[in-house]
Amino acid sequence: MDQRSARFGFVESRFVKTLRCLRCGQQYAPGAIEYVCPCRSNRGSDWGTLDVEYDYAAIAQTITPERLRLDADTSIGRFWPLLPISGRQSLPPLPVGGTPLLSVPRLRLETGLPNLWIKDDGRNPSASFKDRASAIAVARAQAESRPIVATASTGNAAAALAALAAAAGQRTVIFVPRSAPPAKIAQLLVYGSIVLAVNGSYDDAFDLCTEACLEFGWYNRSTGYNPYMTEGKKTVSYEIALQLAEQTEAKAPMKAPDAVFVSVGDGCIIGGVHKGFKDLLTLGWIDRMPRLFGVQSTRSPALYNAWRSGAEIPEPVRSATRADSISVDAPRDPVKALNAVRQTGGAFVLVEDEAILQAILPLAQFGAVFAEPAGAAAYAGLLQACRDGSVHKDETIVVINTGSGLKDVRAAMEVAGAAHAIEPSLAAVRNLLEQGALST
């Protein structure tokens, strides 16, 4: 049997060449290793992160930017040769990606940034960016005939896995810390996941999930640990490059922006954004790498701190940000996240929680995008970078909204204020009018 299919019982995509450890440089054939390189302790998040490498020459003979643009399928399936799947039919039957790149004319006026764009990934099936990764997790688990896909998460990653698994008929077990918000647990249960509420922290849930997967042969989707999640997440960059070219009537079929802003918790998304643009550069489909800006809360600054101090691995912090999707003590994908910022001349940007919540309003009122706090954080980071002078007014800037505002209505209510309570009479409406309460 081919080495690729020997160990995990399925044939790897012919375009996947190797997995390379980003810590020690060791290369592995795709079937020879599963999640992380054993060069590190594998405790906490100090593991050898793997990067998937492709045969780009073969890919370039199979797809071209022109063909991608004309593909009737606007989901991530159209990028299949660049993904660790054997074909687009192996993805769950629930289209992911293909989210709009919005030109936000009123937000451009408001910010004084005439080339600002919002990539609204809150419009994925489970309402967050995480669907891009979970689609790959379910596809690979099914190709390997795994009985269960498991993950540790309290939030969007688990909801995304639950949704994609429901579409594909794949069973899931999700480890959450017992303190997880009931609304998020509800979303998992509704999609049919088995939810294990661990009497402990997120870290305890994470370690237990890892052990259970090893013991019972379940497929582990956990962020940072599973190297293929980056591969799903990178599709956002392909879409941005295609949409930017199309919407600016560029001559080439793909165009890179000057800067991209995205919020950062574990660091998997920004690592994916970086990988996507690197792929396009290697293929010669774009001509430069955008600067990548990772936005963190002052109350969850582990990666920002590591970037400032030049550390390879961040010191854990005690996170307590209101933006729960980026509240992380020990980031699980630090190597890819730090590379994304360091290798592109970008920066990590810190914003206060207050600025994050306040950013929800202009995004919605001028951009018509309703973001959850972690999504709005990216926009708050852009405003901060404008003040710092790290972006210039005429640059082409993309802000990624990573999650829908409906994920956390309580945060939205905090900044949006309350409704006017009135009696069901016209007089009551007139009264409000006369008080000036209806002029905004």
State the residues that interact with ligand PLP by CB under 6 A: 128-130, 155-156, 263-269, 325-326, 372, 374-375, 402-403
- Shortest distance in whole angstroms from residue 401 CB to ligand PLP: 8
> How distant is the alpha carbon of residue 136 from its chain centre?
13
CA–CA distance, 295 with 401 (Å, rounded to integer) = 12
Q: How many CB atoms lie within 10 A of CB 380?
A: 30
Report the residue number, 135 or 283, with the smaller CB distance to ligand PLP. Answer: 135
Report the residue number, 156 or 172, with the smaller CB distance to ligand PLP. Answer: 156
CA–CA distance, 391 with 385 (Å, rounded to integer) = 6
- Shortest distance in whole angstroms from residue 375 CB to ligand PLP: 5
CA-nearest of 239, 237, 219, 95 to 163 is 95
Report the residue number, 170 or 319, with the smaller CB distance to ligand PLP. Answer: 319
Token pair of 345, please? 């001349």
Report the residue number, 255 or 336, with the smaller CB distance to ligand PLP. Answer: 336
- Shortest distance in whole angstroms from residue 331 CB to ligand PLP: 7
- Shortest distance in whole angstroms from residue 353 CB to ligand PLP: 14
Q: Which residues have CB under 8 Å from 14's CB, separation 6+? A: 55, 58
CA–CA distance, 33 with 292 (Å, rounded to integer) = 30
What's phi and psi for 309, nearest 5 deg?
-90, -10
Neighbour order of strands in the sheet with 27-28: 27-28, 16-21, 50-54
- Shortest distance in whole angstroms from residue 34 CB to ligand PLP: 20
Mark out the alpha helices in 83-144 (DSSP H runs).
Answer: 105-111, 131-143
Report the residue number, 16 or 374, with the smaller CB distance to ligand PLP. Answer: 374
Say how many residues make up the chain: 440
Report the residue number, 232 or 403, with the smaller CB distance to ligand PLP. Answer: 403
Report the residue number, 60 or 195, with the smaller CB distance to ligand PLP. Answer: 195
Q: Which residue is nearest to ligand PLP (CB)?
A: 403
CA–CA distance, 362 with 341 (Å, rounded to integer) = 26
Report the residue number, 15 or 261, with the smaller CB distance to ligand PLP. Answer: 261
- Shortest distance in whole angstroms from residue 133 CB to ligand PLP: 9
Asked if 136 contacts 232 with a C-beta cutoff of 8 angstroms, the reply is: yes
CA distances from 392 to 113, 206, 397 (A): 8, 41, 9
- Shortest distance in whole angstroms from residue 431 CB to ligand PLP: 41
CA distances from 328 to 31, 134, 145, 184, 318 (A): 31, 20, 32, 17, 8
Q: Parallel, antiparallel, or unpaired for β 194-198 and 171-177?
A: parallel
- Shortest distance in whole angstroms from residue 402 CB to ligand PLP: 3
Report the residue number, 143 or 164, with the smaller CB distance to ligand PLP. Answer: 164
- Shortest distance in whole angstroms from residue 54 CB to ligand PLP: 21
CA-nearest of 412, 416, 348, 338 to 378 is 348
